[in-house]
Amino acid sequence: MKLLSKSKYLTGLQCPKLLWIEINDPTRLPVTDPTTQFIFDQGHLVGELARKLFPSGIDIPTDDFFGNIKETKKLLEERETLFEAGILSGQLYSRLDILRPADNDSWHIIEVKSSTSIKDINIHDVAFQRHCCERQGLNISKCYLAYINNKYVRAGEIDPEGLFIVEDITDQVSEVSIDVQDKIEGMLEVISRYSCPEMGIGPHCRDPYECVLAECWGFLPEDNIFNLYRGGKKHFELYDKGITTIKDIPDSYRLNEKQCIQRNCEIDGQPYVNKEAITNFLATLQYPLYYLDFETISPAVPLFDGTCPYQPVPFQFSCHVVKNEKALSEHFSFLVDGPDDPRPAFLSELKKVLGDYESIVVYNQGFEEGILKEVALVFPEYYDWVNRVRSRMVDLLQPFRSFSYYHPQQKGSASIKKVLPALTGKGYENIDISDGVLASIAFYNITYGEATEEERSKVRGELEKYCTLDTEGMIWIMDKLRELCD
């Protein structure tokens, strides 16, 4: 029997084709990537903490599918607070985070989320759970969502009452429940089909989740209109007009200045260079140049006192110092070792490296500046120094975000991951850790998860390589910008 679980129901709301594939042909789906796995792991951690809100609750094991359902039935009669209660009703199946007995033989559903706000999809999630419960004869009098309070500041042990906001969503759930049965019937019909339903790409591919199935997009040419810089609604507006490549966007179509530069570059196959703007940017630099990059972790559950959920905490920096235009660079780096709060050692080492004068070159200044502003609030002895450092910062993103330089290979992005290969031919493809999110996950896993010494040492080496490349790459980019203006 093909079951429609709550996660499949949510998939079905997004796309019938994806639902059909998940149930009938899951080998077409990619394996779970490290980022998605990390989100799942953080979700589990959050779920564990939410249970502490109800200390008398009973955790029903989930390793045996039918055993879990049987145990749930038994414990429902005893009217206990249940974690992971499994409800099977015909082809419908739900496993509930928390189910609590309430007045008049009724029950409350409490769904736990690691997000910091309530999303529409959460309401549909609970509506499906309530529907399953009611079909099995349970009276659900209230529905709640327990989600992360991003204002919570850790002080000692995690306080679940502070970490979670528990909000009554009963009315919202009732609103979307009106046609839940119709939707379910439609989905059961879809999953019973022998062949996959046809479904074209559309805004639904990214809402509420970025779909993992790349095959639907494979027909698009390389310079497709979905790479149009900050295209937003224009992407599907153009697609619906039958336009798939940027160079085919007609002159009459309203594009902003940057989008026009992008289209012209696609037509010419050449980069766009505004020498005057780049020269003006370069004139703001004062040697020695300190090329600087941070790596951070942003766990859902704060690890250190004085931090909030999802607050980025720096654990690594790389700094290349170039004394003058002709000098070779000197490299300095820091990567914290061990699970303690990395910020004191990070700040102390950074202060030693950055000196007191001249330009600090970063890529996307808001990030590094924001990190330093936040740490200065917790470590006020660094407050004045942080302000001086911030005033020395120059953002190498600026010439690219302003389209003073644009290369067709950037594909509408000013990220260093696109700019570096487009401008210099060098890139991140030969290293295991190739972006900041992967760096963050790798550090978290070797530091707060289970890892052998060998794994730790390998990952630390990869982290060093990655962060070093970020600052070295900035030097290469700067050299190219200078060449362009010579």
The binding site for ligand SF4 (CB under 6 A) comprises: 14-15, 17-18, 199, 201, 204-205, 211, 213, 216
Q: Least distance in Å: CB of 185 to ligand SF4?
A: 20
Q: Least distance in Å: CB of 224 to ligand SF4?
A: 14
Q: Least distance in Å: CB of 202 to ligand SF4?
A: 7
CA-nearest of 146, 449, 158 to 303 is 158
C-alpha distances out from residue 398 to 55, 126, 284, 324, 414, Å: 52, 44, 12, 22, 9
DSSP class per residue in 26-61: GGGSPPPPHHHHHHHHHHHHHHHHHHTTSTT-EEPP
Q: Least distance in Å: CB of 188 to ligand SF4?
A: 18
Nearer to ligand SF4 by C-beta: 66 or 219? Answer: 219
Nearer to ligand SF4 by C-beta: 66 or 194? Answer: 194
Q: Least distance in Å: CB of 16 to ligand SF4?
A: 8
- How far is the C-alpha of 370 from the C-alpha of 342, rounded, in Å? 17
State the first-to-last Cα distance of the chain, in angstroms, to the nearest integer. 70
Whether the CB-CB separation of 287 and 322 falls below 8 Å is answered with: yes
CA-nearest of 355, 348, 324, 321 to 334 is 348
Do the bridges between strand 329-335 and strand 405-406 make them parallel or antiparallel, or are there none, so unpaired?
unpaired
Nearer to ligand SF4 by C-beta: 79 or 206? Answer: 206
Q: Least distance in Å: CB of 33 to ligand SF4?
A: 16
Nearer to ligand SF4 by C-beta: 121 or 201? Answer: 201
- How far is the C-alpha of 217 from the C-alpha of 213, rounded, in Å? 8
* Continuous H helices in 207-274: 234-240, 257-268
- How far is the C-alpha of 344 from the C-alpha of 359, rounded, in Å? 24
Nearer to ligand SF4 by C-beta: 217 or 448? Answer: 217
Nearer to ligand SF4 by C-beta: 211 or 220? Answer: 211
- How far is the C-alpha of 312 from the C-alpha of 172, rounded, in Å? 33
Nearer to ligand SF4 by C-beta: 205 or 354? Answer: 205
Nearer to ligand SF4 by C-beta: 190 or 361? Answer: 190
Q: Least distance in Å: CB of 95 to ligand SF4?
A: 24
Kindly provide the residue ranges of all beta strands, DSSP E only, lying in 373-438, ordered along the sequence.
393-395, 405-406
C-alpha distances out from residue 117 to 111, 180, 268, 313, Å: 13, 23, 45, 22
Q: Least distance in Å: CB of 201 to ligand SF4?
A: 5
